[in-house]
Structure 1
Amino acid sequence: MPARREIIMGAAALAAWRFLIPNPLTAETAPPTVDPFAFGVASGDPTMDGFVLWTRLAGRRGDQHVGYEIAPDDSFRRIVRRGRAIAPAARANAVHVEVSGLWPGRPYFYRFHHAGTVSRTGRTLTAPARSDRLRLALTSCQHWEQGWFTTYRDMVDQAPDLVLQVGDYIYEKSFGAGPDVRCFGAPEPVTLADYRARHALYRTDPDLQAAHAALPFVVTWDDHEVENDYAGLQGVETIDPRAFAARRAAAYQAYFEHMPLRRASIARLYRRLRWGDLATLHVLDCRRYRTPQPCGRGGHVIGHCAALEAPGATMTGAEQERWLVDGLRSERAQWSLLVQQTLFARLHLPQGPEARYSDIWDGYPASRQRVIDALQVPSVRNALILGGDVHSFWFNDIHRDAERNAGPVVASEVVASCLASRNGPPALFDSAMRLNPHVRFLDNTRAGYVLIDIDRTAATIDCRAIDSLTDREAATHSLIRRTIADRLPGFLS
């Protein structure tokens, strides 16, 4: 396997001049000699016999054909699968190869060919039929302007089996005060071409490219892939419903074009992945089907209002909720992981006992309680809820009655901080541990990601924090480690 540092630095020369280009490496802007694989390679969604391979050709017009090769060794001495895939112009020349028929529980290497050029080598794997261990990296919230993506170097070095990217993969807008390390170089995206350019810009980052090449990703979106705080078909800045529907459709298409996702994900992003009989990943979509936030458009600190008790209010939509409930009832794995976007636990705020923030699960208390009820079926041995969005690290105990934090602890929650962005609002979070005894750990001062090691006896959670978002050589270190024991929900000191 190529050295991890070599993987990380391989695209540095390409990236330096692209950071300020509004529409990088499109057919209109790219020089004729541009590397067709300048956006890198990626893999994702492994099954026992396969995975998805991705690339997007840069600077090409019209439909293109791309060759691919898969081997168990990085020198490709024994190629076990080769073929040709279409890179359609209608999909921005993106390639999605859905591979099947391979051996379970093994690493594989892959590369693409086009017009005499060979891509960098990527490494991926198939899921095992049975396993006693799983290492995950949980990440979210990477703002291009607000920080370098240096933390990905540590992630590659830690060699997780899977990276769970739970939203805000791109940001559509600039916000906040503070030093920026680079700029978008383009206005806020609205059209398909705009969103494609924003994703393409992100794909020129050398650390992000290296992580995708070295590690398989499991992705789901949050709000900034479209527009901040949108809910279903209701925009926040884009008020006109037809205009927002068109914007959302463009953003969704661009997202699919740039992610290692199966074709079925175009119609339905929520899905289920299995890691033998050790863990099931129930990957949720908490944006597309949710009802509007209560008591006002978008996310706000609110008091009690009738909309909080509306019977039809939902974070997931009825169909996805039934899918989740059915999946938990038939759970066979030892660990049940809910891979979703945001803070799940009740968050009591300093504004008063009725105050809550409407864009997280607190805005949908009945929907949250139904999920908690579903996690208490006998087939679920260990429930672990994973999230991001709030730009801070959290360890939370989830009680049977989440609104009152009453009854036994039935699940554990881990929230990853932002990978590269400024931290969450102190006015909401600084008092969280004092007002919320179920919050076992909170850090709202550092960026990074979470490393999760799961085995037959426990899940070990390691918050990995970066020293500086503005220093490209900043180190990433362990901030805190905690353990969740088998069949004992809640965090052990």
Structure 2
Amino acid sequence: MSHRPFPGRRGVLRGSLAASAALTLPTALGAAPAFARSGRPSAGWGVQTGDVTTDSGLVWVRSDRPARMVVETSATESFRAPRRWHGPLLGPDTDFTGTTRLHGLPPGEQIHYRVLLADPDDPRRTGEPVTGTFRTVPVRRRDGVRFVWSGDQAGQGWGINPDLGGYRIYDAMARLDPDFFLFSGDTVYADGPIPETAALPDGSTWRNITTEEKSKVAETLAEFRGNFRYNLLDENLRRFNAQVPVIVQWDDHEVRNNWYPGQMIADTDSRYTEKRVDVLTARARRAFAEYFPISTLRPGAREGRVYRVLRQGPLLDVFVLDMRTYRNPNSPGDERVDPQGILGREQLEWLKRELARSRAVWKVIAADMPIGLVVPDATEGKANVEAVAQGDPGVPLGRELQIAELLRFVKHRRITGTVWLTADVHHTSAQHYQPSRAAFKDFEPFWEFVSGPLHAGAFPASALDGTFGPERVFVKAPTAANVSPAGGYQFFGEVDIDGDSGEMTVRLREQDGTVLFTRVLQPGRVGQ
């Protein structure tokens, strides 16, 4: 059994963190800072941490005006003799957001932190501190690892509904006391306006909190920034962010549904005046980097990337993929030669190299799209495919060729403990891939677990493509399309790795935390 207590490692902190979250409610919903405000700087959008390692972590905050970011850390909530970190000056260039890297931290320890925002002209004038906590990655195997994952937030027009208590799923995830949250993409729906109300099938009315930036599709940098600010209006999310570090990736809706590099939006789509997807992507990428703490991506920098590996101690490495930025154009997926694929050659070679050098018991491949589930793309009036599978159960074609190359590599290099986690399709399921069922047979069996949405429309189960021999062992999905969060079908997943046995237990859970499906995987195997 794991030697880490469950639940309650952060339990004693929740009262103070809840008070902090309530104290820092935004005074104007989603509004941009006003330079003429009197008083002291305020961190109304809360705090968050990300990409935590054995000795470091990133702390994020947003101010309501120009301010200097200061972070203090302590081993206890008392903050006696705190260690102080001077962060960046927060200004309009980053939408008043900023990240400070904490380093030289002790491994496997609970770190308490508080963020102060100081007046740039008078450092003695600081706003009310906002507190948070996180646990650095342990170096001892016996500590175990627990994390949660999901994706797809505020999609299909289903926004923050105060009548239902907002994004309640975050409270259920927090109760599991995870070491981190793997946010599997579609962190915002920049292409999905949030109306004031929506009619529900039973005749009742769904009511949204709305903002100006969410009244239309995002095109300008200000509108993309407003999409990320919108979600932070939810108190459940702010409270969760103060307790649980994030490992985040993106997918399509941070920019536009089913986008790919070089795409041009049709003239018939009157929602967009900017037709160049590459222009929209650059603005979305900047806002994404401003609103999440990501170690490999700095706001406004030309260099940087979303894909990376986060080493979580001897039990776990997390390989975060970017299946959006380097892909080829969406097509029917019947190409017999496809060197670019969904990852691009450079990212594929990086992934193979990092998997081969990993010494962790488990290698989680965090994919923002599924492998064997067919995700169609009709946005251009053609029968294209959006993900990897194209519905032909025969030999690999199109983007499947790249996945086949990766699976073959894992087999022949005898890489143990690979598991795929994803979201995207707005239902939850578990697929087991087996070469004896497959058209392509040069790989070892593996599991792919799907969760989500966090808070968006739910959709029926996707069709399976037989190329890699998937068997759907479990699925929960509605029979109708775009079922609102009021109708249920909101999901997240949990992964618990035992420090003694090394066993990985995967649980698929409903919005309230109810366990729907459990699978225990054994360590040290190339396939299972």
So what's the TM-score if we normalise by structure 2? 0.79
| Separation (CA, whole Å) in 2 of partners of 1:317 and 1:155 | 33
| Separation (CA, whole Å) in 2 of partners of 1:151 and 1:365 | 34
User: Paired residue for 1:205?
Assistant: 234
| Separation (CA, whole Å) in 1 of partners of 2:314 and 2:516 | 30
User: Paired residue for 1:142?
Assistant: 153
**1:452 and 2:495 matched:** yes
- For the residue of structure 1 that corresponds to 2:137, the secondary structure is coil
1:232, distance to aligned residue in structure 2 (A): 2.6
Listed one character per residue, the Cα deviations across residues 333-352 of structure 1 (whole Å, up to 9, x for unaligned) are 11111011111125599xxx
User: Paired residue for 1:227?
Assistant: 256
Which residue of 55, 73, 94 corresponds with 1:49?
55
1:90, distance to aligned residue in structure 2 (A): 0.9
Listed one character per residue, the Cα deviations across residues 107-128 of structure 1 (whole Å, up to 9, x for unaligned) are 1011111242133211112212
Which residue of 36, 42, 49 corresponds with 1:36?
42
Which residue of 269, 285, 290 corresponds with 1:252?
285
1:234, distance to aligned residue in structure 2 (A): 2.1
User: Paired residue for 1:329?
Assistant: 356
User: Paired residue for 1:130?
Assistant: 140
CA contact (8 A) 2:154 2:189 kept: yes
What percent of counterpart residues are identical?
23
**1:182 and 2:208 matched:** yes
User: Paired residue for 1:417?
Assistant: 452
Worse-matched range after superposition: 381-390 or 172-181: 172-181
User: Paired residue for 1:156?
Assistant: 174
User: What amino acid is the match of 1:443?
Assistant: K
Describe how 1:230-309 pairs up with structure 2 within 5 A.
230-234=259-263, 243-262=276-295, 264=297, 267-295=304-332, 306=334, 308-309=335-336
Listed one character per residue, the Cα deviations across residues 300-334 of structure 1 (whole Å, up to 9, x for unaligned) are xxxxx64x323234111111101001111212111
- For the residue of structure 2 that corresponds to 1:476, the secondary structure is coil
**1:462 and 2:507 matched:** yes
**1:344 and 2:371 matched:** yes
Shift in alpha-carbon separation, 1:417–1:236, aligned structure 2, 3 A: farther
User: Paired residue for 2:395?
Assistant: none
Structure with greater strand percent:
1
Shift in alpha-carbon separation, 1:401–1:228, aligned structure 2, 3 A: farther
CA contact (8 A) 2:363 2:419 kept: yes
- For the residue of structure 2 that corresponds to 1:208, the secondary structure is helix
Worse-matched range after superposition: 198-207 or 239-248: 239-248
User: Paired residue for 2:379?
Assistant: none
Worse-matched range after superposition: 74-83 or 213-222: 74-83
User: Paired residue for 2:426?
Assistant: 391
Which residue of 156, 166, 173 corresponds with 2:191?
173
Shift in alpha-carbon separation, 1:43–1:439, aligned structure 2, 3 A: same
Listed one character per residue, the Cα deviations across residues 354-378 of structure 1 (whole Å, up to 9, x for unaligned) are xx97112215211211221232244
CA contact (8 A) 2:189 2:253 kept: yes
User: What amino acid is the match of 2:284?
Assistant: A
Listed one character per residue, the Cα deviations across residues 38-74 of structure 1 (whole Å, up to 9, x for unaligned) are 011000101111011100112x15xx31211011112
Worse-matched range after superposition: 6-15 or 41-50: 6-15
1:424, distance to aligned residue in structure 2 (A): 1.9
User: What amino acid is the match of 2:138?
Assistant: P
Equivalent pairs counted in the alignment come to: 458
- For the residue of structure 2 that corresponds to 1:420, the secondary structure is coil
- For the residue of structure 2 that corresponds to 1:376, the secondary structure is helix
Listed one character per residue, the Cα deviations across residues 444-480 of structure 1 (whole Å, up to 9, x for unaligned) are 13212101101343211111202xxxxxxxx432222
1:274, distance to aligned residue in structure 2 (A): 0.8
User: What amino acid is the match of 1:422?
Assistant: G
- For the residue of structure 1 that corresponds to 2:152, the secondary structure is strand
Shift in alpha-carbon separation, 1:379–1:279, aligned structure 2, 3 A: farther
User: Paired residue for 2:485?
Assistant: none
Structure 2 runs not aligned, ≥5 long: 1-9, 118-124, 160-165, 377-382, 391-398, 479-488
- For the residue of structure 2 that corresponds to 1:421, the secondary structure is coil
Query: RMSD in angstroms over aligned alpha carbons?
Result: 3.2
1:143, distance to aligned residue in structure 2 (A): 1.0
User: What amino acid is the match of 1:46?
Assistant: V
| Separation (CA, whole Å) in 1 of partners of 2:505 and 2:96 | 41
User: What amino acid is the match of 1:26?
Assistant: A
Worse-matched range after superposition: 219-228 or 475-484: 475-484
User: What amino acid is the match of 2:109?
Assistant: R
Which residue of 519, 523, 527 corresponds with 1:482?
519
CA contact (8 A) 1:424 1:444 kept: yes
- For the residue of structure 2 that corresponds to 1:245, the secondary structure is helix
Shift in alpha-carbon separation, 1:54–1:333, aligned structure 2, 3 A: same
- For the residue of structure 1 that corresponds to 2:289, the secondary structure is helix
So what's the TM-score if we normalise by structure 1? 0.84
| Separation (CA, whole Å) in 2 of partners of 1:197 and 1:241 | 18
User: Paired residue for 2:472?
Assistant: 439
CA contact (8 A) 1:227 1:236 kept: no
User: What amino acid is the match of 2:503?
Assistant: A
| Separation (CA, whole Å) in 1 of partners of 2:69 and 2:373 | 49
- For the residue of structure 2 that corresponds to 1:142, the secondary structure is coil
CA contact (8 A) 1:348 1:432 kept: no
Shift in alpha-carbon separation, 1:280–1:84, aligned structure 2, 3 A: closer
Shift in alpha-carbon separation, 1:29–1:366, aligned structure 2, 3 A: farther
Structure 1 runs not aligned, ≥5 long: 296-304, 350-355, 467-474
Shift in alpha-carbon separation, 1:377–1:31, aligned structure 2, 3 A: farther
CA contact (8 A) 1:4 1:157 kept: no
Shift in alpha-carbon separation, 1:346–1:192, aligned structure 2, 3 A: closer
CA contact (8 A) 2:493 2:507 kept: yes
User: Paired residue for 2:98?
Assistant: 95
User: Paired residue for 1:314?
Assistant: 341
